[in-house]
């Protein structure tokens, strides 16, 4: 018989994170997250130094009852007096399937909410750990993939933490029943055409009949593999991260000539860990490696996992920036203004000492994007040339060339991002009496855990 749990069960884990800025709790409304929310809330109310709590609900919009589920979660949070925030996910299925696409969208939203010092609690438990082990085993995962689900890892600017990994689903179900808590029953959990549901409903009950303690033994085996993966990681020399002209983190490709395929796969996976990214399945990395070895110097093989993309450019593979938002809309930038553009970055006009771009306080620059045929003469240069040629000479990666902000005033190109102020009637040491010198500052939206 499973041991009953209470908020005291999580006391050591929660106390260890009591110095966090905020506790965010992933709350779907199911049994696991409902138990987690109630356990953390109960412990917090009895602690004098607990951080503020906010529940995060991701509405994937994939079920007819999605809005009803969101309302249910909001009601539970009102009942428990916990601030509630619902986020709408945009799920775009790719070759990895709908479930994987939903997961990628969910974690991207979680990461976007994380500030420095935040801890996000997830409700994964021991049964999730075991199911994940078997699913990865049946897909041919390597040592890394078969290792235990990490209790803690970086996410966004904060930390993801799983405090329920030592508890079973049965224990959590008993807890919510004892507390009289209502939970969402997602009908898709009964769909045996889904691998995890088939494993949970058909295979593992048979395993339990023969080996009642399989959860603990499989968890122990998974932890052994995690330690083995750590030993392998220490033995792999990962090249120092390089950066593109705009700051994209990259892995220099010199290692391809120095290692065999098995070693090269470990280098790529090791570098992804440095970027705080979850490496895809072994077979996916191996196929990307095959493309890298066969590709000519000008080719640009890409690895798209759904949650991040890697692409070769010249002698490195780079972590690509997030996809750009709608760049067709008209945008302007006024002196002193700061704007954030999805997939482009932060753009600002800042006062500077001369030389600069001389503008009156009420003037606004128009923001455009490269469409082809633009010409530019960077300040201090003697020649006027095609913008694409300038980009190539300055080794601007291809994925940035069409999303570099071009700033115009009265159809005159004044600056290309924060890279080049252009020779124009507004550039120089002095301007008109009502004008002041300004400079364009651009922080590109580079991807990954490097800035």
Q: Which of 166, 184, 159, 95 is nearest to 128 (CA)?
A: 166
DSSP structural state of residue 378: B
The answer on whether 33 is annotated among ligand-binding residues is yes
The pairs formed by 6-10 with CB atoms below 8 angstroms and a separation of 24 or more are: 6/39, 6/42, 6/175, 7/39, 7/40, 7/42, 7/43, 7/46, 8/43, 9/39, 9/167, 10/39, 10/40, 10/43, 10/163, 10/164
Q: Specify the 3-state DSSP secondary structure of 120.
A: strand
- Identify each DSSP E strand in 178-300 by its residue range: 242-243, 249-252
Strand-pairing partners, residue 317, are 251, 312
The answer on whether 29 is annotated among ligand-binding residues is yes
How many Cα atoms sit within 13 Å of 8 on the Cβ side?
Answer: 3
Instruction: Using CA atoms of 76, 78, 84, 89 in order, give the dihedral in degrees to the nearest 10.
Output: 40
Q: In what order do the strands lie in the sheet with 242-243?
A: 242-243, 249-252, 316-319, 309-313, 302-304
Question: Which two three-digit tokens encode residue 289?
Answer: 């490696």
Q: Specify the 3-state DSSP secondary structure of 66.
A: helix
Cis ω for the linkage preceding 296 (within 30 of 0): no
The answer on whether 30 is annotated among ligand-binding residues is yes
Region class of 410: left (phi > 0), else alpha (psi between -120 and 50), else beta: left
Residues 110 and 36: their CA atoms lie apart, in Å, by 17
Are 105 and 89 a contacting pair, CB within 8 Å? yes
Q: Which of 113, 53, 59 is nearest to 86 (CA)?
A: 59
Are 274 and 241 a contacting pair, CB within 8 Å? yes
The answer on whether 28 is annotated among ligand-binding residues is yes
Residue listed under structure tokens 């902000």: 405
**In 22-97, which ranges are continuous DSSP H helix?**
31-45, 66-80
DSSP structural state of residue 90: -
Phi, psi of 106 (to 5 degrees): -65, -50
DSSP structural state of residue 40: H
Please give the annotated binding residues for ATP, written as ranges.
28-33
Q: Extract the annotated binding site.
A: 28-33
């Amino acid at each position: 018989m499973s041991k009953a749990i209470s908020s005291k069960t999580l006391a050591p884990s929660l106390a260890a994170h009591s110095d966090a800025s905020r506790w965010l709790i992933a709350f779907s409304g199911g049994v696991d997250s409902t138990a987690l929310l109630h356990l953390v809330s109960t412990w917090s109310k009895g602690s004098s130094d607990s951080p503020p709590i906010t529940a995060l609900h991701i509405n994937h919009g994939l079920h007819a009852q999605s809005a009803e589920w969101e309302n249910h979660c909001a009601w539970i949070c009102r009942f428990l007096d916990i601030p509630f925030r619902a986020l709408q996910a945009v799920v775009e299925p790719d070759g990895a399937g709908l479930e994987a696409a939903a997961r990628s969208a969910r974690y991207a939203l979680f990461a976007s909410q994380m500030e420095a010092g935040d801890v996000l609690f997830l409700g994964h438990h021991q049964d999730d750990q075991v199911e994940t082990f078997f699913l990865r085993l049946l897909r041919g995962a390597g040592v890394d993939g078969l290792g235990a689900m990490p209790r803690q890892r970086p996410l966004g600017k904060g930390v993801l933490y799983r405090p329920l990994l030592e508890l079973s689903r049965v224990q959590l179900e008993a807890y919510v029943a004892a507390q009289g808590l209502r939970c969402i029953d997602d009908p898709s959990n009964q769909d045996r055409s889904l691998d995890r549901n088939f494993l949970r409903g058909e295979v593992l009950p048979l395993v339990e009949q023969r080996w009642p303690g399989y959860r603990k033994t499989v968890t122990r085996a998974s932890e052994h593999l995690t330690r083995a993966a750590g030993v392998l990681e220490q033995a792999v020399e990962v090249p120092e991260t390089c950066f593109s002209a705009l700051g994209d983190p990259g892995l220099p490709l010199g290692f391809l000539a120095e290692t065999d395929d098995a070693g090269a796969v470990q280098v790529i996976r090791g570098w992804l860990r440095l970027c705080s990214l979850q490496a895809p399945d072994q077979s996916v990395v191996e196929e990307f490696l095959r493309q890298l070895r066969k590709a000519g110097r000008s080719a640009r093989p890409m690895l798209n996992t759904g949650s991040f993309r890697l692409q070769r450019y010249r002698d490195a593979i780079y972590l690509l920036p997030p996809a750009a938002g709608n760049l067709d809309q008209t945008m302007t930038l006024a002196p002193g203004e700061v704007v954030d553009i999805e997939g482009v970055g932060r753009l600002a006009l800042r006062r500077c000492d001369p030389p600069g771009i001389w503008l009156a306080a009420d003037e606004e620059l128009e923001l455009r994007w490269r469409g082809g045929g633009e010409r530019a003469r960077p300040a201090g240069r003697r020649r006027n040339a095609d913008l694409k040629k300038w980009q190539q000479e300055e080794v601007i990666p291809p994925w940035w060339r069409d999303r570099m902000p071009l700033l115009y005033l009265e159809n005159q190109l004044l600056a290309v991002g924060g890279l080049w102020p252009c020779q124009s009637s507004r550039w120089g040491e002095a301007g008109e009496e009502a004008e002041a010198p300004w400079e364009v500052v651009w922080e590109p939206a580079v991807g990954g855990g490097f800035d």
